[in-house]
Structure 1
């Protein structure tokens, strides 16, 4: 998806070894439609050559402020840039920004951007002991208080490694989205449940959670506070790990009760039945009858107790009448798709509301964007 279409991102690179990842980062931003202008400190040019970022961005990398006053052209009032992304950002640069010092191209761009009030995203990278330094901790808090989005590093091998590229791009996309879901608490159920019928076997579905992931990351991009209840782990959101439908029900109702929910998207293939469990491992080689007991509908309980804006999903052919019943019961939107879409990268989906039915064909990321657009 071209989430940065028409947007210009200034990518400021400082003197961390993680600067070697910025060629990939620039490519990732451009693939999503961004125009990227690289700005480099002198220390950064000792780690990655400016020509590498000139190649990656298609524009000459800025390594010093000249008489063209590049910082004003991009980040001043009426400047061309929509976002200043400092990645990687060293402890030294964080401290200078917090103190209002601008003695490098990156810090001069930062001072200008903050004075203009434009979005700024910072992705720290340093040794873990430096990241824990009380001065660095205070400086990061100061930057947050100014509205700068700090992309938390990955703590690995004694280092606060710069966040992965997908996470940085998501934060950058959130910063330029206008955040129409800011302040909204979004709860999503995603993927398959697994119901054990002995100690080694489970009853499950072919759901992969791709739609739940697409919905969650798009909601994050649009500014929401997102919680996902599922068996996996998605970046940038709160993940609550569950396995069975009963686990999912407890977790969902707990979030509704304790945190509150504004929007609930029931994208999971939640088990309709649970087998009666046998102890141990059922011996193989003989016919077996398994009794399946029906399970309560989580979505019905959520709509009855929390009354959030609800997006329901119906899987199957010719489900329009049942979808209408869910709309009558209080769902804002029902997304209808056929079984071939389960586990696939995309497909054709019907987005049904009380007023209209919209057909969307595309990737699940495109479908997720259409769902959120239909709710806004």
Structure 2
């Protein structure tokens, strides 16, 4: 996500500075090169040696005759983006007033003057975050094009955002945004049909592919709505889900369970969408659930009926909406997968179809074919990498 991106990491005197060592590691895991800049207050919480170790680079603790602020964040400077995490109320207010009395605020003024992208992740006590002057300062700095990563307000504190949220907003600020202004709906996960109050009929989808697509679209500038189904059976290390009612940093989440709920939620949000990526593994069958628990130890026959095809229903309701479909197969034969994908593409008038073998469900790696009307391209690698390819192709479609 951050391959080849140079991140200057500004650290200020919030107790959340203790998290910046792991944040630096995460930025580097995502491909970035990181150099740290610290205020004097931050050095009282985290020793510069810790960030030197985490970044494998010297840490700027004062501005000297080497004009480190210009070298890092000036015109043609080293940094592709200046990230301040955590940012105190004091620092935000100083940036809004162009006060340069710490290495971090001096780098911020320099970056803003040089049009270097700036991302700020505030962290402070909640009453400070709610102070009218702080809110006014945030609004003013945002009007200059600075991206703020909203804190998590918990236990009377405006806690620093998650590493995932910060990484996503850094990637969004540092890269091209061909999907800016577009509203992309992504479906993901499995659906689940009740057999009785305890048992369900579902499948093995983990939702990882759809969440990766949502991230990739957000990083490229889109507003994203994620219609998220349940997560199928996987080992506990892989089978984590998004808690009901939760939000994720790159999308607004609509949590659903059944195929009918998936269809209705998707149709509703597609009313304002510019594109749909239908990555969910929607069950093909449903049944009339027993109101009571079905007792074990007896022979049982269940009568199934088909569920509506989501992409066909959405196509009927939204005839001009660009739709990207997914087609999971088990044959392992590329020719058969392309043929099946093209049948779906033509039937529903899709932009393109991603055909993959069902064996990748739940894994971090994938192999897929991006099938267009006249060609097909094979991809093998991580789901994040495939998501980037899908988002790039979608941007071309929306042009």
Q: Given the two structures, how large is their TM-score scaled by the length of structure 1?
A: 0.96
CA deviation profile, 1:54-105 (whole Å, cap 9, x unmatched): 1111111101111111111121112111100000000000111111111111
Q: Please tell me whether residue 274 in structure 1 is matched to residue 286 in structure 2.
A: yes
What's 2:236 paired with? none
What's 2:324 paired with? 311
Q: Please tell me whether residue 284 in structure 1 is matched to residue 296 in structure 2.
A: yes
CA deviation profile, 1:205-248 (whole Å, cap 9, x unmatched): 01110111111111111111000001335432100111111111
1:4 and 1:298 map into 2 onto residues whose CA distance is 34
2:101 and 2:68 map into 1 onto residues whose CA distance is 14
What's 1:220 paired with? 218
Q: Please tell me whether residue 352 in structure 1 is matched to residue 366 in structure 2.
A: no
Contact 2:270 2:276 in 1 (8 A): no
What's 1:134 paired with? 132
CA deviation profile, 1:229-282 (whole Å, cap 9, x unmatched): 01335432100111111111111111122xx11121100011211111111111
3-state SS of 2:119 partner: strand
Moved more, 234-243 or 181-190: 234-243
The residue correspondences of 1:181-192 to structure 2 (distance < 5 A) are 181-192=179-190
1:145 and 1:183 map into 2 onto residues whose CA distance is 17
In structure 2, which of residues 12, 21, 24 is the aligned counterpart of residue 23 of structure 1?
A: 21
What's 1:331 paired with? 350
Task: State the 1:188 CA deviation.
Answer: 0.5
Moved more, 318-327 or 51-60: 318-327
1:61 and 1:345 map into 2 onto residues whose CA distance is 34
Give the number of equivalent residue pairs: 372
What's 2:274 paired with? 262
Task: State the 1:32 CA deviation.
Answer: 2.2
In structure 2, which of residues 3, 7, 10 is the aligned counterpart of residue 9 of structure 1?
A: 7
What's 1:105 paired with? 103
The residue correspondences of 1:154-173 to structure 2 (distance < 5 A) are 154-173=152-171
Q: Which runs of 4+ in 1 moved over 6 A?
A: none
Contact 2:7 2:34 in 1 (8 A): yes
Moved more, 297-306 or 189-198: 297-306
What's 2:313 paired with? 301
Task: State the 1:118 CA deviation.
Answer: 1.6
What's 2:207 paired with? 209
Question: Structure 2 unaligned runs (5+)?
Answer: 230-241
Q: Given the two structures, how large is their TM-score scaled by the length of structure 2?
A: 0.91
Task: State the 1:13 CA deviation.
Answer: 0.2
What's 2:385 paired with? 366
3-state SS of 1:215 partner: helix
Question: Structure 1 unaligned runs (5+)?
Answer: none
Superposed CA RMSD in Å reads 1.3
Contact 2:179 2:220 in 1 (8 A): yes
Task: State the 1:347 CA deviation.
Answer: 2.4
3-state SS of 2:153 partner: strand
